[in-house]
Structure 1
Amino acid sequence: MKYKKFSKASLFIIMILPWFSLPLLGKDAFKRYFPSGIFISIIVLIVNFIAKKRRWWRWHDFLSPKITWVYPFTWGQFIVGSMWILKWTYGNFFRYMLVNLIVDGMFTYGLLYILKKFNIFTLVRMEKMKLMYVFMFDALLLYGFQYLKEKLLVNKG
């Protein structure tokens, strides 16, 4: 595979580089949104487990068949990106869904082509529009979790 070296080197960039933006997020925002980021990352891994069984898509091997590219994406840019989106948009549901639609659309209709070219991610039995539905459902779960978390904390305090 001619992109193998690039892929392995970029793994660390994909996974670690987003974490360097956290000081800009702020300590309070990190504390506020980190539990939601963990929650949705676990949901994404569960969805990926289901997708693997149903062959909706395929994250290609990284180090072994059990360690695929889904992990650096999930624990890197996805978790950090989720916290940033919540910081910028939480409290305005329309803006939140619009930002998610734009970001998820950029992944589905732009980045997906690059990931396929570099043999990182491929849709198998799922159409791009259905992938967008999965992303929008995840976005609703993320917002719902944050909403419930804040309602419970406000009622507790």
Structure 2
Amino acid sequence: MKSRNCSKTLLLMMILPWFSVPMLGKDAFKRYLPSCIFISFVVLIVNSIAKKRRWWRWYEVLSPKVTWVFPFTWGPFLVGSFWILKWTYGNFFRYMLLNLIVDGAFTYGLMYYLQKFKIFSLVRMKKFQLMYVFMVDALLLYGFQFLKEKGFVKRV
């Protein structure tokens, strides 16, 4: 029974954020899609490195291959990246500030509950180091979008 509840939770966590995507608008979705997919793959690569180095742990849910990282990355993280870019792209200070707030809320707030419910926990990494990883991800996302738009402007 526990597995059935977990799989429903995973599915909901991955699907629910996508209900907000129509509110982004078609132009914003098309504009930021490549960057958001890029950073989602970066997050999965970093997670793979983190698993090998035991920086953190996503507890196995359905099988050793299917942990919480997959629905988290392709649900709230991917959709959140769209919204952050839509609200802040073009104002780097505001972009980094919003990322700092969101990532800080995850690291210093939500993580308590993720550990309590055995979803995610840090192993060989401190919270400030996780924030550093998040800030590097934020810089990569903004940088990718910047380069994408710079290349697009040259073609037009």
Q: What TM-score does the superposition give when structure 2 sets the normalisation length? A: 0.97
Structure 1 unmatched runs, 5+: none
TM superposition shift of 1:13: 1.5
Aligned length: 156
The reply to whether residue 51 of structure 1 matches residue 50 of structure 2 is yes
Aligned counterpart, 1:79 = 78
Aligned counterpart, 1:126 = 125
Q: How does 1:26-45 map to 2 (within 5 A)?
A: 26-45=25-44
Residues 5/119 of structure 1: CA separation in 2 closer, same or farther (3 Å cut) = farther
Q: List, as ranges, runs of 4+ consecutive aligned residues in structure 1 with deviation greater than 4 Å.
A: 2-6
Counterpart-to-counterpart distance in 2, 1:148 and 1:140: 12
Aligned counterpart, 2:68 = 69
TM superposition shift of 1:7: 3.2
Secondary structure (helix, strand or coil) at the match of 1:134 reads helix
Counterpart-to-counterpart distance in 2, 1:77 and 1:105: 15
Specify the code of the residue in structure 1 equivalent to 2:139. L
Secondary structure (helix, strand or coil) at the match of 1:115 reads helix
Counterpart-to-counterpart distance in 2, 1:133 and 1:56: 13
Structure 1 residues 89-121: Cα deviation after superposition (integer angstroms, max 9, x where no partner)? 000000000000000000000111111111110
Residues 123/39 of structure 1: CA separation in 2 closer, same or farther (3 Å cut) = same
Contact 1:7 1:118 in 2 (8 A): no
Percent identity over the alignment? Answer: 72
Counterpart-to-counterpart distance in 2, 1:62 and 1:25: 31
Counterpart-to-counterpart distance in 1, 2:7 and 2:14: 11
Could you say what the CA RMSD is over the residues aligned between the two structures, in angstroms?
Answer: 1.3
TM superposition shift of 1:4: 5.4
